[in-house]
Amino acid sequence: MDRNRSSELFDKARGLIPGGVNSPARAWNSVGGTPIFFARGEGSHAWDTDGNSYIDYVCSWGPLILGHAHPEIIEAAQSAAASGTSFGAPTELEVRMAELVVDAVPSIEMVRFVNSGTEATMSALRLARAYTGRNRIIKFDGGYHGHDDALLVEAGSGVATQGIANSAGVHPDYAAATMVADYNSVESVERLLEAHRGEVAAVIVEPIAGNMGVVPPSDGFLEGLRELTTAHGTLLIFDEVISGFRAAYGGAQSVYGVTPDITCLGKIVGGGFPVGAYGASKEIMQTVAPLGPMYQAGTLSGNPVAMAAGIKTLELLQEPGIYERIAATTDRLADGLAKIFAETEVPAQVNSVCGAFTVFFNPDPVTNMKTASASDGKEFARFFHAMTDSGVYPPPSQFEAWFVSAAHTDADVEGTLAAARDALRS
């Protein structure tokens, strides 16, 4: 496969942009080689700058649950843009969008829109501190919540891929207030809450971990967190930036029946445009300015073009049968890959939920960051390159999710499994 134009662009980009990319996970550091530069996307496929086509399982790292360039979303965004791209004042679109989110997500009675998932989690922590009057927070090893200072501690995603435990440049006082527990271990959280009684503002968790690769919660984990945090007067924050509108329309909280105090959203909620959101009960949200003393603001927050794309996405996601279809496609891929691994005697695990899965080259079950880290990165890299060379584009790291959209077809599933069979046989 000829990718000369991607190579030329990467050479040029490296002289202009750190690492040639605007987000580290895109640099292919853990798999090696030259990142593909994309030019166009349609449905489940993306085309690179050399004209090669790929079945895309990055899907912009999650936002594109309806595939690339869905005609109705594009039309909604174009029509909003034609009426003015930003006002810095309220619009009707924000009200409609808020209504959709409040109706969808069990824990949200009031919502504030921001521009990214990072802004959502950063604001959620500030809100938790303001509401409780406490300073400490607990996160999980391998949990990734964007690049807020307080959360770049033992983080997953690109941080794990780069082998950076704690980012340089973070003020030590911020990091000191962050304590780290083990995902899927209620006991590890209990120990920290007991040792710091009355000091912990919030526990923040991806209810389905997505940034150490996909790791679903074990039975009782989320329920245990809910009970413990309630008993300690600590807020429970679900970071549903990945799982929101993906695991189900109401997010992971509607799947597992556990209601957090604060929910963070991003990705799908913006329909492919930069949107994040955080929401909670009216009582908690009344802490946010201008109602209360916790300040948070943004010039492009609630941007009309992004709101229009988000509204159309959520409306389309309400069509009957759409989540059943995405779940069925995910199951066929995950089960099919697991079968091929078994046939070829390659020790690997496939963890999956509706709309996302991860292939871990690991003989043992992956239930937390420690077990995820024991996976074979070199084998993953070989598999990744064989797949991309066959026209299938997985995420360029074992610690990420493969995203499945409603646009992925039976033919895409067959093509992906055939490519995987060839890759593993060779």
Residues annotated as catalytic are 144, 239, 267
**Residue number with CB closer to ligand HOZ (156 or 279):** 156
Q: Where are the beta strands (DSSP E) in 123-270?
A: 136-140, 178-181, 200-205, 235-239, 262-265
Which residue number places its CB atom closest to ligand HOZ?
Answer: 23
Helices and strands: H and E segment counts in the chain:
15, 14
CB of 23 to ligand HOZ, least distance (A): 3
Interacting residues with ligand HOZ (CB under 6 A) = 23, 25-26, 61, 157-158, 211, 400
Alpha carbons 121 and 148: distance in angstroms, whole number: 8
Alpha carbons 89 and 71: distance in angstroms, whole number: 28
**Residue number with CB closer to ligand HOZ (119 or 400):** 400
For residue 393 the two structure tokens come to 């584009």
**Residue number with CB closer to ligand HOZ (131 or 402):** 402
Contact 126, 137 (CB under 8 A): no
CB of 62 to ligand HOZ, least distance (A): 8
**Residue number with CB closer to ligand HOZ (221 or 403):** 403
Torsion 49-55-58-62 (CA) sign:
positive
CB of 109 to ligand HOZ, least distance (A): 28
**Residue number with CB closer to ligand HOZ (67 or 142):** 142
Between strands 356-360 and 178-181, the pairing is unpaired
CB of 285 to ligand HOZ, least distance (A): 26
CB of 114 to ligand HOZ, least distance (A): 16
- CA–CA distances in Å: residue 264 to residues 17, 119, 238, 317, 414: 29, 9, 6, 19, 35
Contact 279, 105 (CB under 8 A): yes
- CA–CA distances in Å: residue 37 to residues 22, 161, 372: 12, 20, 28
Q: For the sheet containing 402-403, what is the strand order?
A: 349-353, 356-360, 402-403
